[in-house]
Chains A and B, each alone.
Chain A
Amino acid sequence: MKLWKKLFAKRADERQQQEIYRVEHTSFWITYWLLLISIIYQRNIKGMPFEQIQGEWITFMIASICIVVGCMWRGVWNFQHRKVPGVKAYLLYSLTGGVLGGILFGVCTAAQNPYVEKLSDKVMVGLIAGAFDGGIIFVLCFVAFLIVGKVTKLREQKIEKEMLGDEDDE
């Protein structure tokens, strides 16, 4: 424990720490989105079996859970919001995810389906698969946003109450 503390004790001053946080922030998001693109490319375009990408998938899920839980616990949403947004925003986010996911899965299914040869049939298969997958993504995203939003709001209120309590004590 002592060795751990010695090795990882923060010796950088506050400006250096801010610079490091900025670099880490940018690097994290670049890695995160590249990982997602890599998973989609390998799974949906190259058609690789899940076993071959499970390491990347687990890493991606851990990163996602860490960032969601971390923000939820501190009662913050993102850089663009001072307060946790409402249902309208969740609908918009989920719709965006659903449409993008629907297009991606629709195109991939149509392009890779070995049983359909005619272009019109491929388009139809793509539309059906896209609508189905897009719909599922929309519903899942919306439910996830509702839950995460609700918990984040509760944490935000709890922290606010604690701070008010501290103010009263003084």
Chain B
Amino acid sequence: MKNKRMKIARIEKDLSQEQLAEKVGVTRQTIGMIEAGKFNPSLQLCIAICRALDRTLDGLFWEDEEKEE
């Protein structure tokens, strides 16, 4: 499932995938895959992304059950 909220938060922060990747210490492909829903990051990486984007875990990664189905 695509993570549009993360992509929106990143664009609002005026960061490219490359810049966000640099901030959290991963590769650009990893950020791309998280946004595309092709990779599930660890809690540690989720927290790092939230800190870099000034968002909460809920705000970026929480999905309602109905939506998930």
Interface positions of A (Cβ within 8 A of B) = 13-16
Contact = CB atoms under 8 A, between A and B. Distances in A.
Given A13-B26, A15-B39, 10 more contacts: A13-B27, A13-B30, A14-B30, A14-B45, A15-B29, A15-B30, A15-B33, A15-B41, A16-B27, A16-B30
A17 to B, nearest CB: 10
A16 B29 CA distance: 9
18 contacts: A13-B25, A13-B26, A13-B27, A13-B30, A14-B26, A14-B30, A14-B41, A14-B42, A14-B45, A15-B26, A15-B27, A15-B29, A15-B30, A15-B33, A15-B39, A15-B41, A16-B27, A16-B30
Contacts of B45: 14
Q: Which among A13, A14, A15, A16 has the highest number of chain B CB atoms within 10 Å?
A: A15
Contacts, number: 18
Name the prevailing secondary structure of the A interface residues. Answer: helix
Contacts of B30: 13-16
Interface of B: 25-27, 29-30, 33, 39, 41-42, 45
A15 B33 CA distance: 9
Contacts of B26: 13-15
